[in-house]
Structure 1
Amino acid sequence: MFNFRKQLFYPIHVERQDPMFAKVLLEHYAGRNSELSSAIQYLNHRHNISNRYVRELLGLFAAEELGHMELIAVAITKLGGPPLKCVNSQGAPWVINYIDQNVDSITILQVNVQAETRASHLYQQHLELTSDPNMKRMINFLIGREEVHKRLLQRAQILIRETGSPEDFSELIYDYKMSLQVLE
């Protein structure tokens, strides 16, 4: 299911080192609303989804979130941040309590919509904490990807409620893959 590519989803450049902002980014690396939390939650949730298309979508999201985690790690390193550990910006270690344990399909999708919303909001807050135009572009890129995930999760939720056709569900996968075309 997973493939490793040396190439990042998005090029990471910094104008100058900024260890304080690097520390802020740790929240996105391994905080409650981090890329690590999202990836693990998607991996766990996908096994409780009976619809094969939605299960595939969650797997695709999990892989992308791991890619986002890599972007954050590279940015932290280039900004002169601390050695990477699975901790948040306050130095508290990542914990399994960050992961939702629901098993109902509709609830799983709703919880993930809320998680994507929180992640976008957190990125939005942190956007104001840097003057580096490169970091602002990276954060805006990540906000855009969170919004793609949120939109597709909302559509999946509607399709499950309305017992959508296989064609409707396969369109979710197609739309996700098309959203990646701009990244290549």
Structure 2
Amino acid sequence: MWIYEKKLQYPVKVSTCNPVLAKYLIEQYGGADGELAAALRYLNQRYTIPDKVIGLLTDIGTEEFAHLEMIATMVYKLTKDATVEQLKAAGLGSHYANHEKALFYENSSGDAFTTTYIAAKGDPIADLYEDIAAEEKARATYQWIINLSDDPDLNDGLRFLREREIIHAQRFREAVEILKEEKDQKRFF
């Protein structure tokens, strides 16, 4: 049974209103390498993956939704006190015109989320390599946002998310090895 604990996976703190950082973070909300794309990718791929790694995809896929919740909280906190002028100056004028301060699944350029971000080949090893790449791209994006940020409180949460991406990539690498070993054993029997 799946259980939702009604708290964030890791505390989200923000030192100050900063719509520019919010614009950067939107990439991890609705961008190609963001948390929504990852969650949907893994939960979709689990239907064509061997039983030995289904649980891994389910666990990581649902954790990605927890990360999405953290990003949403960060963006909300970074923009809740922003003026319209601050939003415009941050390049969020179009977003404001369409959604006010509501979150919307889009990337930092304002392009709407699309299911073309979700990779599924049906070959377990190919899909897991795609998943490793997705986690590494997310890790890199978190690092670059940290590099752009001068908010130590926000950076604490971003570092947590970056580290989880590293762990996920490691787990997917382990799953590839399990499936390769299983494939090799079948070849010899």
Interval of TM-score (by shorter of Structure 1 and Structure 2): 0.7 to 0.9
Among 140, 143, 155, the residue aligned to 1:136 = 155
Q: Deviations over 1:104-130 (max 9, x none)?
A: 011111110011011101111111111
| TM-score, length basis structure 1 | 0.85
TM-score (norm 2): 0.83
Give 1:8 deviation, angstroms: 0.4
8 Å CA contact 1:43–1:59 kept in 2: the answer is yes
Greater Rg by CA: 2
Which whole-Å CA distance do the structure 2 matches of 1:55 and 1:153 have between them? 11
Q: In the alignment, which residue of structure 1 is the partner of 2:110?
A: 91
1:41 matched residue in structure 2? 41
Does residue 30 (structure 1) correspond to residue 49 (structure 2)? The answer is no
TM-align CA RMSD? 1.3
Does residue 105 of structure 2 align to residue 106 of structure 1?
no
Displacement of 1:2:
3.7
- Map 1:44-59 to 2 at 5 A: 44-50=44-50, 52-59=51-58
Give unmatched runs, 5+ long, in structure 2.
Answer: 81-100, 184-189
Aligned-residue sequence identity (percent) comes to: 34
Alpha-carbon distance between aligned partners in 2 of 1:6 and 1:19, rounded to the nearest angstrom: 27
Pairing 1:3–2:3 present? yes
Cα deviation, 1:104-161, whole Å, max 9, x if unaligned, reads 0111111100110111011111111111101111111011100110001101101110
Aligned to 1:70: 69
CA distance in 2 between counterparts of 1:53 and 1:130 reads: 40
Mapped contact 1:2–1:63 kept (Cα < 8 A): no
Amino acid at match of 1:47: Y
Where has structure 1 moved over 4 Å in runs of 4 or more? Answer: none
State the alpha-carbon separation in 1 of the partners of residues 156 and 4 from structure 2.
24
Match of 1:148 among 133, 149, 167: 167
**1:178 maps to which residue?**
none
Measured in 2, the distance between the counterparts of 1:118 and 1:159 equals: 23
What letter corresponds to residue 66 of structure 1 in structure 2? Answer: F
Q: Deviations over 1:75-123 (max 9, x none)?
A: 0001116320111111111001101121001111111001101110111
1:121 correspondence with 2:140: yes
Aligned residues: 163
- Secondary structure, counterpart of 2:166 in structure 1: helix
* CA–CA separation in structure 2 for the residues paired with 1:62 and 1:162: 24
**C-alpha deviation, 1:4, in angstroms:** 2.3
